[in-house]
Chains A and B, each alone.
Chain A
Amino acid sequence: MHIAIASGKGGTGKTTVAANLAALTEGDETVYVDCDVEAPNGHLFLKPELSFSETAGIPVPQVDPALCTGCGKCVEVCRFNALACVAGKLIVFAELCHGCGGCVPACPEKALTESSHAIGTVSRGMAGDLHFVQGTLRVGAAMSPPLIRAVKAKAPDAAVIIYDAPPGTSCPVITTLKGMDYVVLVTEPTPFCLNDLQLAVETVRTLGLPFGVVINRADVGDARVRDYCDAEDIPVLLTLPEDRRIAAAYSGGALIVDALPEYRASFMELLGKIRDGAGQREKGKAVRS
């Protein structure tokens, strides 16, 4: 079962929910996958021992100046503006290249070859019985979807795989959500979060995935998030109260289910609802895209 924990906005408690769920599902073989490659922080709570790490790269073109005639054909092919041709010379902006491979065959002089350009690392290890995988985007690298795909591909198959998605609704999120059986959207009851939640709901609906909402710090704001979920027929899977002890556990890098065992039941219930929601979908389809 592939479960993504996402949120329209950062800082709503997405990682808290993901890490606690992952820590909870003992018995079943479980994997936690940190796809928030620009700011992976699940490791702060799960404290894995990383035993494996490899560089992920994308194929970026390299030009042989002796063969290049400066015809500009490759520049026309590149949809990402990663190539420029001036004064009979080709300039490759590797940090803009998406590695789509479009330009190499387009060169009539065979002046282009592919070379790997590092965009980040994928690391893997164990946190107790929990399998742990994370991606870390290289500073300055702009292209996270290929790294997220590499991270997902490195996740071992298991009964429960929990993906900590990047915040927002752009390409990295969509890359993460592809192939999921269920999506949990974490939000807070404030007007800003409501707006971002609505965008996230649109995204998940476009992808046709079953989903539900977790309202964190449920007593700090107003009822609009709740009303919206009711009006839209979106299940509210769990509400977490504003609890100073949760904040203290968080800042100390502790899991809620460890530090405050009275919350275990709530997270168990959340997992049950996710199972029910995902159960309606056929299982065993490929997640790797």
Chain B
Amino acid sequence: MIMKIAFSTSGKDLNALVCSRFGRADGFLIYDTDTDEYTVVENQQNVNAPQGAGIQAAQAVVKAGASALVTGHCGPKAFTVFAASSIRVYHSDEVPISEALQAWRRDALAEMHAAAVDGHWV
């Protein structure tokens, strides 16, 4: 059973939109499905990273203890990190996190397996 789910976002609460970018998103909202509480992890140091932003962001998501990620696009290198940590990645449009969460609970989000964008977006 999944306990924590991460959303890429530039906001700080469930009304904020899911950010379509992963590696260079402003931060991640980590939602705990057991307690219905959430925390926000900043990703500032990666927004302007010249390379490898997705790799660092993916490690941050792993460290936050998430077992699933909801985002727009995720590059191949971040996928490698998620595959190694058995984290599942789901696609969402830029809708409020609360909506994406509902959709995820209904199992209505598509799981992503390969890279949705080419490398330098990572």
A residues in contact (CB < 8 Å) with B: 75, 80-82, 84-87, 89, 91, 93, 96, 142
Contact = CB atoms under 8 A, between A and B. Distances in A.
B62 A81 contact: no
Contacts, number: 42
B2 interface: no
A93 B86 contact: no
A87 B51 contact: no
B80 interface: yes
A87 B86 CA distance: 9
B44 to A, nearest CB: 15
Contacts of A87: 62, 84-86
B57 to A, nearest CB: 10
Contact of B49 (A81, A86, A89): A81
B86 A85 contact: no
Nearest to A140: B119
Contacts of B80: 84, 91, 93
A81 B52 contact: yes
B81 A86 contact: yes
A81 B51 CA distance: 7
A167 B55 CA distance: 29
Contacts of A91: 80-81, 84
A197 B62 CA distance: 45
B51 A84 contact: no
16 contacts: A75-B59, A80-B51, A80-B52, A84-B55, A84-B59, A84-B81, A86-B58, A86-B62, A86-B81, A86-B85, A87-B62, A89-B84, A91-B81, A93-B52, A96-B51, A142-B51
Contacts of A80: 51-52
B58 A84 contact: yes
Interface string B58-101: 11001000000000000001001100111000000000000000
A93 B84 contact: no
Interface residues of chain B: helix, strand, loop or mixed (majority): helix
B19 interface: no
Nearest to A82: B52
A131 B52 CA distance: 39
Which bracket fits the contact residues of B? 10 to 19
Residue with the highest number of chain A CB atoms closer than 10 Å, among B49, B56, B77: B77
Contact of A81 (B53, B84, B86): B53
Given A82-B55, A87-B85, 15 more contacts: A80-B52, A81-B55, A81-B56, A82-B52, A84-B55, A84-B59, A84-B80, A84-B84, A85-B59, A86-B84, A87-B62, A91-B80, A91-B84, A96-B51, A96-B55
Contacts of B77: 93, 96
A82 B80 CA distance: 12
Interface in B31-62: 49, 51-53, 55-56, 58-59, 62
Nearest to A89: B84
Nearest to B86: A87
A75 B62 CA distance: 14
Contacts of A93: 52, 55, 77, 80
A89 B80 CA distance: 12
A175 to B, nearest CB: 16
Contacts of A81: 49, 51-53, 55-56
Contacts of A89: 84
A75 B52 CA distance: 12
The 7 closest A-B pairs by CB, nearest first: A81-B52, A86-B85, A86-B62, A87-B85, A84-B55, A84-B81, A96-B52
B66 to A, nearest CB: 12
A241 B52 CA distance: 45
A80 B56 CA distance: 10
B52 to A, nearest CB: 2
A3 B102 CA distance: 64
B24 to A, nearest CB: 12
